[in-house]
Chains A and B, each alone.
Chain A
Amino acid sequence: MQAYRQAQSDSSHPRQKPLVSLLSAKQNQAAGFGPVVHPDLGIKIYDPGDPGPDEGCSELDVNEETQFAAGCMDSGDAFDLYSCTCDSSSGGGGGGGEDGNPPPDVTIVAWVNGSAITLPGGANIVLQGVLQNANAAEIAACAVEVSDWVTGNRGAVITYTDQQYASAWLLKNSANSPPPDPISPSALLAGADYRLFNDNTLGTVVGSTADPCKTGNVTGWGISLAGDYSRYDGNIGISPSGQIYQVNEGQVGLADQAVNLTLNGRSTPWIWSVIEFDIWGDFTGNLHAMFPTYSVYVDNNLVAVYPQSAASDFIAQGGSYQLVPSQIP
């Protein structure tokens, strides 16, 4: 048997049903059913110590496994994955929590709360003058200024207060709408008004950043820039404490990273959320970055909102602020 150590992948997004798949299989394994069967995909998971595979099973190729596991398996939790023609009942049944119910649908939405961002006082009047977007001329002026920042030209940003003002203004004017309660996860996903979308059924997505200048209002062009996926986005694994987790991690796109570097002299920090289940399929909690705001839904209902820290504190973290799956306790 060959144990796959899944390489981290950032090739395709969003990923389909990643955590649910792994969860069902692990639950069965933990319940002592031996080689376990994913109820939908006809996949058997063998512990490296188990005999097998059964007749009629063939080893999954890497692509199939990618679809199945969609992330990195910790080396200590290696599985051997086989695609089997055998009936799912031969492996001990499908997934479900300790009470036999399927695990809940957990959704974590990361969104920038514009009303929680205060523009610092004391920025120079020229900077405040070019960072406006109320009419067509202002929109054009703003777009030119921000384009300058992309190319490393600081323009009217002179003091530390200026750089904080500019950063806060950009975030405030690219903020998201607060996600509703309750939600339809698929509708929310399609609406694309978020920074991160983490759902144990629908997968993970890194959202776009709206153009703070609202350039599209005068040009008609697209009004958002795609976010940048972390290599750990979509990563699924089992933590040292036995939690099954799914990581959603990203940052703003390359042009916005260049803007941040020009304004703040620092690389861009990452944002992330992590959904965690215990071995019985019960939602046990989540991890998230200090920014932006995170709304947590269980079976479509809001159960928690974690407010964002000050934007300046977040920006000051720099690019080393990132969750690596091995840090999950």
Chain B
Amino acid sequence: MPVGFSARLYSSTGSTSRLALCVTLLIGAALLLAQQNQAQQSHSRLAYAADPANVPDAIAKVSSGQFGAVHLEMIANAHAVQAIPALEQQFNVAHDLLTTTKIASTLVRLGDTNSSYWDFLVNQATLAIQSPNPTLFDADGQQVRGRTSSQFTAWAKTNKIPPDAVYLLPALVAMLGETGDSRAIPLLRQGLSSPNPFIQAAAARGLANVHDTDSIPLIIDACRKAPDWGAAAIARSLVYFDDPAAQSAVDTYIPANLAKTYRAEKTMGVKP
């Protein structure tokens, strides 16, 4: 656009054409620099949840009642204990399972000693760990696509769990594990025996988060019994143990490119 415009405007004489060319080149260079600058800013600018400057916004969101799990996670990571009163208030009025459990997890992470939050977390994780296998198999032992097992469906109905529980349940275990509280170890070890590999993986990550090296053989055993894809998910937790057996199992159960990614993730400071 600037080229065509300039060419028409200054086509009468040679000198003005050269002037137009110079102006056009300058504009082009400026635009290029602006684009590069914008790209650099995108690469250096932090994501919303990664930017500590957004923690006050997260606290304000919780106080207003218009918040999500990400705000709770940011508060927990920043150990923003000033948010505890607002969190306690929201725990009493939250009406969906995910939000309520995340609030309880956040309060425990912030050091709230009210046992009701811990008990709530344990109850939800126990519920998930005791859930039956959601996968439906046909008479030939093949998975049936797009449906869950009748046992799982009946269990979800009995426990008044929402229809998308199959995706929600591992999160209930994960939110117990992310507290880093060693009281969770026995229950998380039970989680390694779940028929759902995603629940097993969540439990294993929780054990890694509390640095429970005694659980390494149990995690490796769970990998051995799981389907290949499940083993890869469970073994991710082993990346976080500075232990030869754990690291060897990582290379056994996780494809090399993915193992490299997980190890890089640990180096980046991402939690289990």
Binding site for B on A (CB under 8 A): 120, 122, 124-126, 129-130, 135-141, 143-144, 147-148, 150-164, 216, 218-223, 225-226, 253-255, 257-258, 261-266
Q: Is the interface of B mostly helix, strand, loop or mixed?
A: helix
B15 at the interface (CB under 8 A from A): no
Closest A-chain residue to B49, C-beta based? A154
CB-CB under 8 A from B144, the residues of chain A are: 220
Given contacts A122-B43, A157-B50, A262-B70, contact A220 B135 (CB under 8 A): yes
Given contacts A124-B268, A125-B261, A126-B264, contact A140 B233 (CB under 8 A): yes
Quick check: A141 and B70 within 8 Å, CB to CB? no
Q: A140-B230, A265-B70 are in contact. List 5 more A-B contacts (CB 8 A).
A: A137-B232, A151-B69, A159-B43, A159-B50, A222-B148
Quick check: B265 and A148 within 8 Å, CB to CB? no
- Which residue, A122, A159, A254, A257, has most C-beta atoms of chain B within 10 A? A159
Quick check: A258 and B136 within 8 Å, CB to CB? no
**Chain A nearest CB: distance from B152 CB in Å?**
9
Tell me the bound Cα distance from A162 to B144 in angstroms. 35
17 contacting pairs across A/B (C-beta < 8 A): A122-B39, A129-B258, A136-B227, A141-B233, A147-B174, A148-B174, A150-B98, A151-B171, A151-B175, A153-B178, A154-B47, A154-B50, A158-B47, A158-B50, A220-B136, A254-B96, A258-B68
Quick check: A219 and B47 within 8 Å, CB to CB? no
CB-CB under 8 A from B45, the residues of chain A are: 159-161
Indicate the size class of the contact surface on chain B.
35 or more
Given contacts A126-B268, A160-B47, contact A147 B258 (CB under 8 A): no
CB-CB under 8 A from B49, the residues of chain A are: 152, 154, 157, 262-263, 265
Given contacts A152-B73, A220-B145, contact A140 B42 (CB under 8 A): no
Quick check: A140 and B197 within 8 Å, CB to CB? yes
Tell me the bound Cα distance from A319 to B61 in angstroms. 15
Tell me the bound Cα distance from A147 to B135 in angstroms. 18
List the count of A-B residue pairs having beta carbons below 8 Å apart: 177
Tell me the bound Cα distance from A255 to B136 in angstroms. 23
**Chain B nearest CB: distance from A312 CB in Å?**
10
**9 A-B pairs with the lowest CB-CB distances in the bound complex, closest first:** A265-B48, A152-B69, A129-B261, A220-B143, A136-B229, A152-B73, A137-B232, A154-B49, A160-B45
Closest B-chain residue to A215, C-beta based? B167
Tell me the bound Cα distance from A27 to B229 in angstroms. 61
Quick check: B71 and A141 within 8 Å, CB to CB? no
- Which residue, A160, A216, A263, has most C-beta atoms of chain B within 10 A? A160
B56 at the interface (CB under 8 A from A): no
Q: What 1/0 mask marks residues of chain B from 256 to 272 whose CB sits below 8 Å from any chain A CB?
A: 01101100110010110
Tell me the bound Cα distance from A219 to B195 in angstroms. 12
B44 at the interface (CB under 8 A from A): yes
**Chain A nearest CB: distance from B27 CB in Å?**
24
Binding site for A on B (CB under 8 A): 39, 41-50, 54, 68-74, 96, 98, 102, 134-136, 143-148, 164, 166-168, 170-171, 174-175, 178, 197-198, 201, 227-230, 232-233, 236, 254-255, 257-258, 260-261, 264-265, 268, 270-271
Quick check: B68 and A152 within 8 Å, CB to CB? yes
Given contacts A154-B47, A159-B46, contact A141 B258 (CB under 8 A): yes
Given contacts A159-B47, A225-B164, A262-B70, contact A138 B258 (CB under 8 A): yes
CB-CB under 8 A from A216, the residues of chain B are: 145-146
Quick check: A137 and B258 within 8 Å, CB to CB? yes
CB-CB under 8 A from A125, the residues of chain B are: 261, 264
**Chain A nearest CB: distance from B188 CB in Å?**
16
Tell me the bound Cα distance from A163 to B69 in angstroms. 16
**Chain B nearest CB: distance from A25 CB in Å?**
38
**Chain A nearest CB: distance from B69 CB in Å?**
3
Closest B-chain residue to A218, C-beta based? B229
CB-CB under 8 A from A130, the residues of chain B are: 261, 265
CB-CB under 8 A from B178, the residues of chain A are: 153
Which of B46, B167, B198 meets A160, CB within 8 Å?
B46
Tell me the bound Cα distance from A138 to B255 in angstroms. 9
